[in-house]
Structure 1
Amino acid sequence: MTASIKKEFLPSRRTILTGTAMAGAAMMTGAAPSFATTRRSAPHVPSMGKGLVLPVAEKTTVSAATVDLSHLPRVKQEMVMPPMAPKHEQVATGGPKIVEVSFVTEERLMVVDEDTDAKIWALTYNGSVPGPMIIVHEGDYVELTISNPENSVFEHNIDFHASTGALGGGGLTHVLPGEEAVLRWKATKPGVFVYHCAPGGAMIPYHVCHGMNGAVMVLPRDGLKDGDGNALTYDQIAYIGEQDYYLPMDEDGEYIQYESAGEDYSDSLDAMRTLIPTHSVFNGAVGALTGENALKSKVGDTVLMIHAQANRDTRPHLIGGHGNFVWEGGSFTDSPQTGMETWFIRGGSAGAAMYTFEQPGVYAYVNHNLIEAVLLGASAHFVVEGEWDNDLMEQVVAPRPMGV
């Protein structure tokens, strides 16, 4: 289907693009008053490729008891671009806090691979793939303001795997273009977790596979520990979001170019049904964490690698290093595994691994499905400075002709 034909299937910018029966928005403020969420009746959405009709939401009301949190201090956490992490304490000082964060949804054209001119109209939180990382401590409250600009094409929301109730908050955060909502949830489970957009129906994989996902880290209040209860600390965080893309191609095998967000909807669903990604990349694009964009570190530094994949299984591996401590399933309540060569992150989850660099040089951090690492783009580099240790590795004889 050509771009010009596809336009006939797209609703206007004001049409509610939702496929869920939870198309409400909740405004939950400081003292957590009772709230009501009204599901708005959505107009009929025209068929969008292969007869898909998005269902109409029904009106209903949700209420909850008042919770007084006015005694808790409030702190604003400034979001930063991945692979960086926001400023935070590894060990919490004081009691629980309300941590305020802000997400603005942005639908933007992104280059996936410059060499092949592969591009996508990415759906993002704060303009990045993955979305920013949020870091809090167990017992804290996350209070998110999610804003959807007037010029957006789609309705958006957010499902926090770290939260409890209302589809991870997805049922309370549906925002149409020009709307915002405020959601507060309590961080009760220490670990690393995925968040993603989940408007409903086919829009869920469409949004996730267009980059609308990220990670939350909930630290224990007394910090990370090994299996014996000893404190574990890190010098830096490397936040890696692995993204599978399914970019439509024309009959000549060239990537189709689209003029606006949503124009690729029908073609993308066809490509996604193959379950074969055209790209599997770290942090949004091929080369996003290699070359000039490589992660920097030093011998003796300990890095906490947070790896999130909202859709497919992956197998992180640090070539030339190890996972000294690994929370493969993401739970900090459980003792970490130790000395791992490769670990497994299930689709729809995040995991963490800690390693202290012992040698200088370039380390490749890859999905050890090497087809995805080498051919599809799932690779990052750490460039580590320091002194070489011949006791750990030494080139006894350099390559030379045999028999010399």
Structure 2
Amino acid sequence: MNDSINQDQTCESTLKYAAIRLETISEMDHRNNELLATLGHELRNPLAPIKNGLQLLAMMDLGEDAEKVRSMMARQVKQIVRLVDDLVDISRISCGKVLLDKQVFSLIAVVEAAIEESSILISENNMTLEVIDNSDAACVCGDLSRLTQVICNLLNNSAKYGSLGGQIVLTLDASDGFVFIRVRDNGMGIATDRLENIFGMYEQVESADGLRSSGLGIGLALVRSLVKLHGGVVDAESDGLDCGSTFTVRLPLATGILIDNVVSKGVSDQSLRHFRVLVVDDVRAMRFVTQQLLEKLGHEVQVAENGRTALEILDSFHPDVIFSDLTMPVMGGHELARRIRQRKDLESVCLVALSGYGQSSDRELAFKAGFDRHLTKPVDFQRLQDLFNELD
């Protein structure tokens, strides 16, 4: 009888301990995700004026040597932005906050978009890319930007770990209700005992001499998570170190209405209309660069360092568009938006939130406050052009 009571007490204690541990782990995951979101915001803020400044320089006559330096810096900034985006995306996926904008599009369309993103890194490593399309115009249903991210990460992975001057082969196939995307390289390969864990968080490949590679080790983890969200699977194959590797993504074959023009080509024409614009940001560098960039496009621009100053300017300056940061001292962007929406003389102004926070909850708060658009820093020049063209 006593043994039975003791066993019951032991089981109860074990269950309580397990519950406490589970709660502790859940709390740690929550804090980790909050940390990644905050880190993304803090990194995006200084990146925004750097990226926009480089875009501004691209509009000037720098000379051949200076343009090479600017172009090199722009490529490196783009890689940093991609790393920050990957960090934040991993956090959002683990919290179940990633929503897919699903459409039906051709497989080759997403591949072309990914190649456009990865082409510079591949060429910098003096590698060649061969595309073999056996998909017979197959279509997939998914989020174009997310699937582009998947293939782009795989191509970048091959460019990073491939042999200098080596080859990458991207093959597309379709059979038995599925489409297959294979990315093969002849680079450093993967040790056979590491294949099973290669898609884990912070996993990194070791070379034949035992040295760990550079990077955060999150690219392949993100690939697996995004593919899973699309109802697919991804696996890796390699005969060992120095034998190259092959990554295969399998996705359901889609049927439905095919959308057109999913991949934008080139840069859209500059809007013919000149807008009055107010830029509100507490970071001086961001105000300066954004003002210079918009004035270069022919717009009339004024700036303010917080919401209160912006309201004072709005008494005498009536803009067509207001770009506002959200987290500012004295008065933030949300309160600014609410006060603007209460004014009849500003009811037609287009309010655009510019923020380092880019999660769906952040966008919802911005829209609830009265913003019409939400853009995540650093904003691409082409995105600004598209916005003005939409308003034209």
Structure 1 or 2: more helix by fraction: 2
Q: TM-score range by the shorter chain?
A: under 0.3
Structure 1 or 2: more strand by fraction: 1
TM score, norm. by length of structure 2: 0.19
TM score, norm. by length of structure 1: 0.19
